[in-house]
Structure 1
Amino acid sequence: MVQFDLFGEVEQKLEERAKQREAEATKPPKSRPAPAWRRKHRAFPSDPQRHASDIAENVIGAWFSHYGGNRVDVPLGTIAGLTFIREPLIADWLLTLEPAQLPPLLREIWGVQWMIRPDLIEVARPLHGWVEEDPDEYQLKAVQAVIHTAVRKGLFDLTAREDPYYRSQADVLSPLLTGLRHKSDKKWRGEYHTPACVSDLMAHILIDTNRCEPGMSVRDPAIGSGGMFRSVAQQLRELGLDPHDFSWFGNDIDPLATACAAVNAILWDLGPKVAIWCGDSLADDGTAVDQALAERAAVIQHRNTVVEQALFEHKTRRLLHALDQLLEGTAA
């Protein structure tokens, strides 16, 4: 007769588990993968347009679920500001900020960009004017939710790339703008942005080395958020041409769409020869381009004057400080 030693089996299992734990302890610990937004060098999204749409859908959900209100410019301007960031590791820091810290941060981001491209940032004013309005507590919490959602859904995977070719793979602001607006509002405006696949096909057909050469211009009288510009710029890069060598002229009747196009012109690195303005192409008497170029030149001149004044004040302070030290030394 076979007799089972139950206590013996328990002791044997305990010994086996102890040996297993000792063996596992000698193995190097498995590194826990960092959250998606912490990985600096991630593979580029396989479907950038779908990725951009997914970000937009989740940002819209975060904004309305936190009772952000019916203002389109606030969440849209928040995401637009984040697209200027080129260092993806800043994502960790963004997630630690309190709601009250967000307006100063966004003001600084837009201010730096104004120093670099005042012409385009002035056009984009409908997106960043709200940061000067002292937003209330509920609105700021919704802005915080928008930032957290965008970071976690991989906004920087698209926009925080050094190479403008990768930053130009998708338009993040277009699905966000159209999604934030009510259907009746879009219908009243007649606002239907051209799908990226269509604009890419048009650019592929129209742009080739036999027709395009540096010095030529690109004109879009209904620019929307700039989708056609993105497709043309990408096609130029595919052909070994630099968008900086071309002039870009675009306008739209919708100020928010025009503002998005101005931000995208920076994001997609279209170059220094870009003029974007808000205006009705059907009512243009032929002077719109000249007027836009004149306004652009005036804004750049104003920026130069501000910089010159700041440099003069800085030099004056240094001179006065040196003079004070000299006088103190003489008195001693």
Structure 2
Amino acid sequence: MEQLDLFADLGEPETPKPKATITLPKPTAGQWASTLAKPQPQPQPQPQPQPPAGAAPSGRRRPEFSLTPADGPAFGEAVSAAWHRAHGGSRMEIPLGIVATLALWPIKGHARTLADFFRGLDADQLLACVREVAAYWWMRRPDLIDTASVLFAWAEEDRHTEQELSAIRATFRAAIDANALDHTGHADPEMNSWIDLMSWTVTSLRHHTARQGLGEYHTPPEVCDMMAAQIIGNDPDGIREGYSILDPCAGTGGMFRSTAQHLRSMGVDPAKCTWFAQEIDPLAAAGCAVNVIVWGLGPNALVACGDTLAEGGMWRRAVEHRRTMVEHRDDVVARLAIADAVRRVEQLVNGGADAA
């Protein structure tokens, strides 16, 4: 298995400079009851991935397996069932971190080989994979990985019970068997954007009474698709590269996923736009930070965790957070380079002394 290169292609982006902003609304029952009661123009359906049968209409290769958005609920249930069946406990961040690790694994295009690789690892090796993938992306997007740190920090803990280790391995296997790598293992980010795996995992792990208490209701992907199509329309001149897109109550980013896919269908590269998500729930915000990487939303995608109603716009805070984290990353890299240079000098000196 190829080792991840933590220092390859860091490429730090410039600070986002939005030209115009589209704010994505949140639906209410009354709003959509009245809207759906009237005949509405239906957006053109996007082509669904199919098993290999030649080239897709867009010229891209079709994915290796038949995957559709309908697989989302089954995926979430499989991960949740495996975690609870193994008595993993109440720490939702662990199964969510497992899904995030598989989704962010940077070696793409080898789903079957990677699946066999992960299945052959023991619990300690799987923990090392969680740490390694977090380090890999921290080198590239330290701001996003800092926001998502709750999903990876548990792998740094010194002691896990045998019960937890068993549950971790069982959950890794369940996520792989439920096609996590097939959903997120493509070199083309469009093919990784059919399903919001983080949303379905959060929804399945969190009890419905807890969701009610938090006021957490993830918008169904079909509704997100319809809203994105109606808000943006199909006029390439209506929205173009350089626009910024804001979701003040983003959850795990479901509206971003639909919007990015709609932009792609119009020939607009989502990575050339600016994306800003605000979310009050730390676990959902962490999932959103993971998703904007998986979905290829580009260097100008920022995620802030906070209360939109109490704090309002957190754009400046998010930009400052990214600047601080990039400076911290650069400082760590510089100190590592110095430490490595000192180690090499000591080896040379000790080698010369031994020879003498």
TM range (shorter): 0.7 to 0.9
Q: Which has the larger radius of gyration?
A: 1
Contact 1:58–1:149, Cα closer than 8 Å, also in 2: yes
> For residues 2-49 of structure 1, what are the alpha-carbon distances to aligned partners after superposition, in whole Å with 9 as ceiling and x for unaligned?
xxxxxxxxxxxxxxxxxxxxxxxxxxxxxxxxxxxxxxx9634242x2
State yes or no: 1:79 paired with 2:99: yes
* % same residue: 38
The RMSD of aligned alpha carbons is: 1.8
Q: Distance in 1 between matches of 2:345 and 2:287?
A: 43
Residue 90 of structure 2 corresponds to 70
Q: Does the residue aligned with 1:222 lie in a helix, a strand or coil?
A: coil
Alignment of 1:270-309 (within 5 A): 270-286=297-313, 288-309=314-335
Contact 1:124–1:263, Cα closer than 8 Å, also in 2: yes
Q: Does the residue aligned with 1:83 lie in a helix, a strand or coil?
A: helix
Residue 125 of structure 2 corresponds to 101
* Residue identity in the other structure for 2:183: L
Q: Distance in 1 between matches of 2:66 and 2:278?
A: 30
* Cα shift at 1:99: 2.2
* Cα shift at 1:321: 3.7
Residue 16 of structure 1 corresponds to none
* Cα shift at 1:152: 1.6
Residue 193 of structure 1 corresponds to 218
Task: Give the paired residue count.
Answer: 288
Q: Distance in 1 between matches of 2:67 and 2:172?
A: 23
Structure 2: gaps spanning 5 or more residues: 1-61
Choose the corresponding residue for 2:156, options 132, 135, 139. 132
* Residue identity in the other structure for 1:92: D
Residue 339 of structure 2 corresponds to 313
Contact 1:45–1:51, Cα closer than 8 Å, also in 2: no
Q: Distance in 2 between matches of 1:197 and 1:107?
A: 34
User: Which structure is higher in helix share?
Assistant: 1
Q: Distance in 2 between matches of 1:94 and 1:300?
A: 31
* Cα shift at 1:327: 6.5
* Residue identity in the other structure for 1:189: L
Cα pair distance change 1:140/1:283, threshold 3 Å: same
Residue 66 of structure 2 corresponds to 45
Choose the corresponding residue for 1:55, options 75, 91, 95. 75
Q: Distance in 2 between matches of 1:72 and 1:325?
A: 50
Moved more, 135-144 or 205-214: 205-214
Residue 22 of structure 2 corresponds to none
State yes or no: 1:114 paired with 2:138: yes
Q: Does the residue aligned with 1:275 lie in a helix, a strand or coil?
A: strand
Give TM-score, length-normalised by structure 2.
0.77
Structure 1: gaps spanning 5 or more residues: 1-40
Alignment of 1:143-182 (within 5 A): 143-182=168-207
Q: Does the residue aligned with 2:296 lie in a helix, a strand or coil?
A: coil
* Cα shift at 1:65: 0.9
Cα pair distance change 1:59/1:252, threshold 3 Å: same
* Residue identity in the other structure for 1:248: W
> For residues 116-155 of structure 1, what are the alpha-carbon distances to aligned partners after superposition, in whole Å with 9 as ceiling and x for unaligned?
2111000001211211222211011111111111112211
Q: Distance in 2 between matches of 1:192 and 1:163?
A: 29
